[in-house]
Amino acid sequence: MTARRIFVYNVWVTELSLHILDIANNSTRALAKTVTLEVTADFVRDVLTVAITDDGHGMDEELLKRLSDPFATTRTTRRVGMGIPLYRMAAENSGGSLQIESKLGKGTRVTATFKISHIDRPPLGDMAETVITMIGGAPETDFTFIYRTDAGAYEFCTKAVKDALGEDDLSDVTVLLYLKDLIDENVKNLNGGNHI
Amino acid sequence: MKSLEELQAIRERMKSQIQSREQAGGNDIRVVVGMATCGIAAGARAVLAALTEETAKSGLSNVKAGQTGCVGICAYEPIVEVFFPGKEKVTYVLMDPDKMRAVFKSHVLSGQPIQEYTYTYAIADKGEK
C-alpha cells in the first residue's frame, strides 16, 4: 500500500486545481447542463472547501458505494478510474474529507475539505486555467465558478458571458485566454497576500 | 482591469475577419489533447495551455484546438493528436509545453510532423510492437 501511495504521488502533479478539473470532467461526461464549482477558503476555521455540483444523470447507490474503489469506472478504454480515489486521498492526507451525494436522474455533488495549514495540503494552483479548460472541454455546458475568501466573493458565470457576447460557444481560443486573465485577476484580488 | 465589455469589443472586431476566412473553405486542422485523469496527472493541462496560446498567436481560424478523453495508452500521456485534412492522424506522446509549441510550428503551421515525438517512434525505439 505504501509503495502504491508513493508511486501515485510521484505521478500526480500536486495542485488541487488539477483534481478539480478531473472531477468536473465527470460532471460533463454525465451530461450535466450546469456545473457549479465553489471554492471557499475560510482562514478563521482553517478550512478550504471545494464543492462541485452538477445536474447530470447522477449515480445509483450501488455505484456510489463502489466509487472510492479504483476499479469502479464507467469508462470503456480501460478498467480503472483513479479520479475520485486520488481526490479523496488528497483530502484525507491534508486533514480533510471527501463527501459525495448523488441521486439518479438529479445530479451529483462532490464536496472536499482540506485543512488550509496542513503541511500535506497541495496548493490550490491555477484555478483560472482549470475553469477555462472546463469551458473549452464542454462549450455547451454552463459553468458557474464561485470563489470566496475572507476578503469577499467572486462569481463567474459562462451564461453571463454567452449572453454578453451573443454566442453559445466560448471555446474560441481568444475568448478562453481573455476569460483566463479575467478570472485570474479576480481570484488574485481575493487572495490578497495569502497562498492558497 | 479585464471586463466583459472589453471582451465584447474584441469579439466584434474579430468577427468580420473570421467570417471572411471561414468562407474560404472548410479545411480545419484539429489538434486535441487527452484530458482524462491519466492525461491531467501527466501534465496535459499545461500542454493544452501551450496549444491554446499558440493557436491564438497564429490567428488562424482553421486551426481547432480541443480536448479528448483517454486514448488507452496512459503510460504515454500527455498525448496530442493532430488531424490534418486528407491525411492520417498523427499521435504524439509524452508531450510537454515545449514539445507542443515545436509540434505546432512544424506540423500544424508547416505540415511537417516531428517523427521523434510520435507514438510510432516511441514504440519502435522501445522495441515494442
pLDDT at A132: 97
Mean of pLDDT values over B102-123: 95
What band does B71 get if pLDDT is binned at 50, 70 and 90? confident
DSSP notation for B21-63: HHTT---PEEEEEE-SHHHHHHTHHHHHHHHHHHHHHHT-TTE
Residue A138, classed as helix, strand or coil, is coil
Cell numbers given for B52: 491554446
Q: Give the distance from CA A120 to its chain's centroid.
A: 19
Choose the weakest-confidence range: A71-85, A169-183, B68-82. A71-85
* DSSP 8-state secondary structure symbol assigned to residue B77: -
**Alpha-carbon distance A45 to nearest alpha carbon in chain B (angstroms):** 30
Contact A30, A102 (CB under 8 A): no
pLDDT: which is higher, A189 or B26: A189
What's the pLDDT score for residue B22? 55
A36: β partners: A53, A144
- Cβ atoms of A127 and A143 within 8 Å: the answer is no
pLDDT at site A10? 44
What is the structure's pLDDT at A136?
95
Which of A:60-89 have CB within 8 Å of B? 75, 77-78, 81-83, 86
Confidence of residue A12 (pLDDT cuts 50, 70, 90): low
pLDDT at A81: 73
Quick check: A34 pLDDT over 90? Answer: yes
A179–B37 C-beta distance less than 8 A = no
Instruction: Find the CB nearest A75 among B14, B48, B70.
Output: B70
* Encoded amino acid at B72, one letter: G
Please tell me which of the candidates A13, A167, A173 has its beta carbon nearest to residue B65.
Answer: A173
Predicted TM-score of the model (pTM):
0.88
At A24, list the grid cell.
468536473
The architecture that CATH gives domain B4-126 is: 3-Layer(aba) Sandwich (3.40)
Q: Does B10 touch chain A (CB under 8 A)?
A: yes
pLDDT at B37 over 50: yes
The vertex-B92 CA angle with B119 and B101, nearest 5°, equals 150
Question: Which chain A residues are within 8 Å of B48, Cβ to Cβ?
Answer: 133, 136
Decide the pairing of beta strands A142-149 and A34-42.
parallel
CA–CA min distance A40, chain B (Å): 23
State what percent of residues in chain B have pLDDT above 70: 88
Mean pLDDT of A69-95: 77
> Choosing among A84, A87, A174, which should be mutated to test the B contact, i.e. which has the most B CBs within 10 A?
A174
H or E element: which one contains A111?
A: strand A107-115
The residues, ordered by sequence, that sit 6+ positions from A40 with a Cβ below 8 Å of its Cβ are: A47, A48, A49, A50, A51, A148, A149
Residues of B in contact with A177 (CB under 8 A): 52-53, 56
**pLDDT at position A190, please?**
95
**Chain B contact for A155 (CB, 8 A cutoff):** no
Q: For residues A177 and A81, which has the higher predicted lDDT (pLDDT)?
A: A177
If DSSP codes are grouped into helix, strand and coil, which group holds residue A53?
strand
| Mean per-residue pLDDT of chain B | 89
Do the chains contact at B4 and A176, CB–CB below 8 Å?
no
Measure the CA–CA gap between B39 and A30, rounded to whole angstroms: 19
Nearest to A146 by CA among A11, A8, A17, A52: A52
Please state, rounded to an integer, the average pLDDT across all residues of chain A: 88
Q: Could you tell me whether strands A152-157 and A142-149 are parallel, antiparallel, or unpaired per DSSP bridges?
A: antiparallel
d(CA A89, CA A10): 14
For A125-154, what is each residue's pLDDT tens digit? 999 999 999 999 999 999 999 999 999 999
pLDDT of residue A129: 97
ipTM of this predicted structure? 0.87
